[in-house]
Amino acid sequence: MPGDNGKGVEQDVVIIGAGAAGIAAARHLQTIRPDLAILLLEAGDRLGGRAWTVGLPGDIALDLGCGWLHGARTNAWTGLAGEVGLTVDRTPAPWNGGRRLQRDDAETHAAQQAIGAYFERLDSHEGDDTDLAAMLEPGNSWNGQIRAIGTYITGAELERSSVVDYNRYDPGPGPDWRVREGYGTLISRYGRPVPARLGVEVTRINHRHAGRIDLETNQGGISARAVLVTVSTNVLAAGRIAFDPPLPEKIEAAARLPLGLADKLFLGLATPEALPADTHMLGSTSRAATGTYQLRPLGAPVVEAYFAGDLAHDLEREGKEAALAFAGDELAAQFGADIRTQLSVAAISAWAAAPHIGGSYSYAEPGASDLRGVLAAPHDERIFFAGEACSRSRYSTAHGAYETGVAAADLITGSLSKNQ
């Protein structure tokens, strides 16, 4: 019976946020404790959070958020795709032997060598934490390209993020695959069996009273025995949810694990054959502020442009015409000016401006990597935390978010059993 401590508590567990972590936690709780009354509250108008697929006519699925099943052989979502009737596509990723538009000349080899040497320096770094820019070789002519790659990885300029955190990243074994119908489709479909309310923004968590937690939302109050918070670090750090009494260590941890920014622009192609299918292209091999392009991903008649770091912030602010012009210039430099007449905006993300998310994926400031553990630790065995930023080694990924959700659900059931 809900609130079986007899104090009129409405729910056993309220989960805040219907992204990968919240959905994973809810489904796991449903499996291991079907007797519990659980409710998922989502401020937005859809399930999925940073997993979001939009469709084009002809069954074309475009992922505005996560797209790659990293560590695909051991990624929990890979198996779940089949369970919910979706198809995993195993075409190799560009960084794993997939097709790339790249000359096989001395310049390309020199760039590869410089990039390889940079990442080796990162891997072998010992001692105090520092930022990713400190590992650059001053004056190396490939630093622009290294900086560009760094922003795709962390969503931030190299100066901002931690080497120790980078070295802890481990998505697990396996290549990177995709879900044909979209990663966002997979995560939202997996969430369907969960009792959820959309458009409900939690604004306050009052945990002053023993035996119950009172939540304030834009749709009224609700009480629970345990609460799982899965909102992004930028939402937490901005104080969008007030904890009463306050939990300053959580807010400080979130602030030092901010979200980097990566945005996607999908360009419709009037004549798809104008470009090769499933081929990767880097906008510029020398500039840091450049896009990375997946031409006709999975054969679709689109180009997927990916912008990160300061460039993504600038283009997001300037709007979709500016992003189209930027991508048009970079594609024209490769394919000739006529390619511009082929291109139109099919879909575009603006994750920094997304009101309940505020960015793309978390990075750690230098010295802040251990704060992932501080963020993940339960408070008072009643307020639990999950989400990609809580993962020590799979942060920034949808399967890392999944794993933190499942882990939190296990802790919640342990605590509820103790306090029955």
Ligand X SMILES: Cc1cc2nc3c(=O)[nH]c(=O)nc-3n(C[C@H](O)[C@H](O)[C@H](O)COP(=O)(O)OP(=O)(O)OC[C@H]3O[C@@H](n4cnc5c(N)ncnc54)[C@H](O)[C@@H]3O)c2cc1C
Interface residues with ligand X (CB under 6 A) are 16-22, 41-44, 49-51, 65-68, 70, 201-202, 230-232, 235, 240-241, 262, 264, 349, 351, 356-357, 360-361, 387-388, 396-399, 401
Q: Give the number of C-alpha atoms closer than 13 A to the C-alpha of residue 357, restricted to the C-beta side.
A: 29
CB-wise, 222 or 339, nearer to ligand X?
222
What is the smallest separation between the CB atom of 64 and ligand X, expressed in angstroms? Answer: 7
CB-wise, 24 or 146, nearer to ligand X?
24
Closest CA to 266 of 239, 286, 295, 287: 295
Burial pattern 254-271, b for ≥16 Cβ within 10 A else e, equals bbbbbbbbbbbbbbbbee
What is the smallest separation between the CB atom of 228 and ligand X, expressed in angstroms? Answer: 11
CB contact set of 139 (below 8 Å; sequence gap of 6+)? none
Q: How far is CA 260 from the centre of its chain?
A: 10
255 in Cβ contact with 237 (< 8 Å): yes
On the question of a cis peptide bond just before residue 245, with omega within 30 degrees of 0, the verdict is yes
What is the smallest separation between the CB atom of 70 and ligand X, expressed in angstroms? Answer: 5
What is the smallest separation between the CB atom of 42 and ligand X, expressed in angstroms? Answer: 5
What is the smallest separation between the CB atom of 130 and ligand X, expressed in angstroms? Answer: 25
What is the smallest separation between the CB atom of 129 and ligand X, expressed in angstroms? Answer: 22
377 in Cβ contact with 385 (< 8 Å): yes
Neighbours of 141 (CB within 10 A): 12
| Helical pair 20-32 and 398-418, crossing angle rounded to 10 deg | 40
CB-wise, 282 or 376, nearer to ligand X?
376
Pairing of strands 196-198, 38-42: parallel
What is the smallest separation between the CB atom of 273 and ligand X, expressed in angstroms? Answer: 27
CB-wise, 142 or 351, nearer to ligand X?
351
351 in Cβ contact with 263 (< 8 Å): yes
CB-wise, 78 or 162, nearer to ligand X?
78
334 in Cβ contact with 294 (< 8 Å): no
Strand 88-89: give its sheet, edge to edge. 68-69, 177-179, 88-89
Place of tokens 């997939």: 98
CB-wise, 188 or 413, nearer to ligand X?
188
What is the smallest separation between the CB atom of 351 and ligand X, expressed in angstroms? Answer: 5
Distance (Å, rounded) from C-alpha 213 to C-alpha 384? 12
CB-wise, 135 or 224, nearer to ligand X?
224
CB-wise, 41 or 364, nearer to ligand X?
41
